[in-house]
């Protein structure tokens, strides 16, 4: 295993169907990378690059007027390819209220997913708004991690009004409030947080329960302050991710190795941090045992 990719979108036909309202704009930005592909092709991409993947469901029905790639579908995907996929990130529309809380419990306790992911700009909510605090309270009580999109988003980029999605919902400062009020909640901030990267760095340094995944950016474009601290104060708090299919995990790994980081940093970035922070030891052993 070369790396653990903590941020993977399983771009199969069902996932693409759920994303149709904003898929044309995304495909204009990324081209055929966001075309639907069979599950077998996705699995083979990660086998080729010798990476384990943590895939993500999709549910932004209220904020984006789209469909749902359900947590049950995601759990089935991970069961069908146990040598490739680790238990995934479920996704639950934050506007579902009590039904949403029930779905979170179902995803973790029954489906066996690892944690839950939120995309605040596209789901149309401010994570630090106290009306959503029951979500963070439940996740903390379940002792499962949460992945929260941070910074700008490619979804709606360049479209009139950005398709109505508000970037300030992705500001890292929302995560700071949640981390302070739920100190046992294991929070992963997805992406480098641009244009608020230094705000995100400050939060990750100040809050022991906040880490960062560096998916969604080619390594050479990751802001310099984050690349600096990845080798120093944040070397134990940054996780590898590609944001597949926008980037392949193998290409990202190759480009990170070309950054010539100090000895030991790449191993932490590629797999040691994710294994510890997400408590993946048994899941990795199970995946490796399923390999041909």
pLDDT in tens, 85-94: 999 999 999 9
d(CA 48, CA 82): 15
Q: Tell me the CA distances in angstroms from 40 to 17, 62, 194, one per residue in order.
A: 18, 31, 33
Say how far apart CA 197 and CA 191 lie, in whole Å. 9
Per mean pLDDT, which range of 61-65, 161-165, 176-180 is the poorest? 61-65
Q: Is 130 helix (H, G, I), strand (E, B) or coil?
A: helix
In the prediction, which pLDDT does 157 show?
87
Q: Give the model confidence (pLDDT) of 13-29 as tens digits.
A: 999 989 877 776 676 76
Q: Kindly list the distances between the CA atom of residue 77 and the CA atoms of 13, 70, 122, in Å, as whole numbers in the listed order.
A: 13, 11, 24
Q: Which of 33, 46, 48, 104 is nearest to 78 (CA)?
A: 46
- Are 245 and 276 in contact, with CB atoms under 8 Å apart? no
Residue-wise pLDDT for 71-83, tens only, equals 999 999 999 999 9
Q: Which two tokens stand for residue 55?
A: 């895939």
Contact, 242 vs 273, CB < 8 A? Answer: no
| pLDDT, mean over the chain | 95
pLDDT of residue 150: 98
- Domain annotation for the chain: domains and CATH numbers: 3-289 (3.20.20.140)
Q: pTM higher than 0.85, yes or no?
A: yes
- The pLDDT assigned to 63 comes to 84
Predicted local distance difference test score (pLDDT) of residue 5:
98
> What's the mean pLDDT in 204-232?
97
């Amino acid at each position: 295993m070369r790396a653990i990719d903590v941020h993977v979108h399983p771009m199969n036909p069902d996932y693409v169907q759920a994303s149709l309202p904003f898929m044309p704009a995304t495909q204009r930005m990324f081209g055929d990378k966001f075309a639907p592909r069979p599950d077998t092709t996705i699995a083979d991409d990660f086998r080729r690059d010798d990476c384990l993947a943590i895939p993500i469901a999709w549910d932004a029905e209220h904020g984006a007027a789209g469909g749902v790639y359900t947590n049950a579908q995601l759990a089935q995907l991970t069961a069908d390819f146990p040598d490739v996929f680790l238990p995934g990130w479920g996704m639950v529309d934050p506007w579902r209220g009590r039904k949403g809380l029930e779905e979170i419990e179902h995803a973790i306790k029954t489906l066996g997913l690892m944690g839950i992911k939120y995309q605040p700009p596209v789901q149309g909510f401010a994570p630090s708004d106290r009306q959503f605090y029951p979500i963070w309270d439940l996740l903390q009580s379940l002792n499962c991690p949460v992945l929260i999109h941070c910074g700008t988003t490619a979804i709606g980029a360049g479209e009139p009004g950005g398709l109505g999605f508000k970037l300030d919902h992705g500001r890292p400062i929302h995560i700071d409030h949640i981390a302070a009020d739920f100190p046992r909640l294991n929070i992963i901030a997805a992406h480098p947080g641009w244009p608020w990267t230094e705000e995100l760095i400050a939060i990750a340094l100040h809050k022991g329960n906040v880490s960062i995944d560096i998916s969604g950016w080619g390594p050479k474009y990751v802001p310099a302050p984050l690349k600096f601290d990845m080798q120093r104060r944040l070397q134990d708090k940054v996780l590898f991710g590609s944001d597949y299919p926008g980037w392949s995990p193998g290409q990202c790994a190759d480009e990170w190795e070309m950054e010539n980081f100090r000895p030991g940093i790449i191993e932490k970035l590629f797999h040691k941090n994710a294994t510890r922070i997400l408590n993946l030891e048994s899941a990795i052993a199970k995946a490796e045992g399923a390999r041909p």
